[in-house]
Structure 1
């Protein structure tokens, strides 16, 4: 394995990792539960630093709002927090800061698939930028989510109070400026409203 460093992560790459199976990658992650690990479509392994306190606070508030909505209609699907990995159609494994999967899609999986990195793309995901994140890099990640099948995806940048909304079938995101408003879950999460002011 050949390591390299980006601003916020350690990147591992090499012939062995290119051949690593999904099961082997899952086992590798289980051996290092203290780390946040993702895998690219090229089977590079990304080991990321822990979340800072401000980001952790915001993420808790984000997930709290999503969970409260979920409790009003649990039959529609399942919600997941930032520690959840998904194996996407392009073979990458990613962990959004918050996500939701429609019940039909989730229930089509076996119990074994549900207990590992579920082989699906969530219908809805949120990526919450930290103050030091490169938003342009996160925008590339949002396109990965969109291309893998996310129906609605939000990139939230509290530092500039900007939200980028990605929708299935739309080539460009909608840009929303200012946190004195709410975001709608639209037809993907009917009735969900995210109060952005809580993420300041």
Structure 2
């Protein structure tokens, strides 16, 4: 109705960005106005034009996914897919997936695995926005991801029932494995991702995910001052 005021869940843009975990303003979609977006809006905008979004705090937040992040995610999907298919464990999805974690929170993990334990009928959910909570989710960090954003995502994932989360940093070539939002195991560049109780027997060296990327540039040594 014209003239009807909409009560927003935040007072100003600063409060919204803070609640989203310090997301850069350029990733906030203004159509529809922040605080008023719905799942219908998410489906309308998702992938158009070539942008992926998540729905948080009634706001469409662009999901950053660059060339390097896509390569790393694709390598993981290939390795994970071979293992999951061989042992008929469930199904996996890529970055354009949408999962409703809570009534007003829809996330799109870069990679996810859903066990057939979650789907006893052994068929994948085909809804545009799935309500089936994955067993494993993976976030491949972009330069535009803030630490606060990832912290909030992890809380959302585990509150909804996710059992394992991997956060991969392609620039540092390291990762973190989470069994809870505040239980992180740091994995160094020469370390290995382990499926644990979620994917028993699945392991992948981090180096395998970065094998197709150029070697990191060597750090320049500071010049010594002449005496």
Category of TM-score, reference length = shorter chain:
0.7 to 0.9
2:73 maps to 1:63: no
Distance 1:101 1:72 in 2: 15
User: Higher strand fraction: Structure 1 or Structure 2?
Assistant: 1
Report the secondary structure of 1:164's partner residue.
strand
TM-score, normalised relative to structure 2? 0.71
In structure 1, which of residues 175, 178, 183 is the aligned counterpart of residue 188 of structure 2? 178
Please list, as runs of the form range in 1=range in 2, the aligned pairs for 1:42-191 lying within 5 A after superposition.
42-49=57-64, 51-74=65-88, 76-107=89-120, 114-167=126-179, 170=180, 172-191=182-201
How far apart, CA to CA, are the structure 2 residues paired with 1:44 and 1:131?
A: 21
Task: Give 1:159 shift.
Answer: 2.3
- Provide Cα deviations, 1:136-186, integer angstroms capped at 9, x if missing partner: 42222122211111100111113233322221xx45222324121211101
Alpha-carbon distance between aligned partners in 2 of 1:171 and 1:35, rounded to the nearest angstrom: 27
Which structure dedicates a bigger proportion of its chain to helix? 1
Q: Does 1:193 align with 2:203?
A: yes
Does the CA contact (< 8 Å) of 2:28 and 2:59 recur in 1? no
Asked whether the 8 Å contact 2:35–2:58 carries over to 1, the reply is no
Alpha-carbon distance change, 87 to 27 in structure 1, aligned in 2, over 3 angstroms? same
- SS of the aligned residue for 2:86 comes to coil
CA distance in 1, matches of 2:189, 2:47: 40
Structure-2 separation of matches of 1:186 and 1:31: 33
CA contact (8 A) 1:164 1:173 kept: no
Normalising by structure 1, what TM-score? Answer: 0.79
- Kept in 2, the 8 Å contact 1:90–1:148? The answer is no
- The question of whether the paired residues in 1 share the 8 Å contact of 2:109 and 2:137 is answered with yes
Confirm or deny: 8 A CA contact 1:89 1:121 kept in the other structure: no
1:9 maps to what in 2?
A: 27
Higher-Rg member (1/2): 2
How many pairs are equivalent?
Answer: 190
Unpaired runs of 5+ in structure 2? 1-5, 7-11, 18-22, 211-227
Secondary structure of residue in 2 paired with 1:198: helix
Could you tell me which runs of 5 or more consecutive residues in structure 1 were left unpaired when the two chains were aligned. none
Does the Cα contact within 8 Å between 1:142 and 1:155 map onto a contact in 2? no
What root-mean-square deviation, in Å, do the aligned CA atoms of Structure 1 and Structure 2 show? 3.0
Q: Distance in 1 between matches of 2:41 and 2:48?
A: 11
- Tell me, yes or no, if structure 1 residue 25 matches structure 2 residue 41: yes
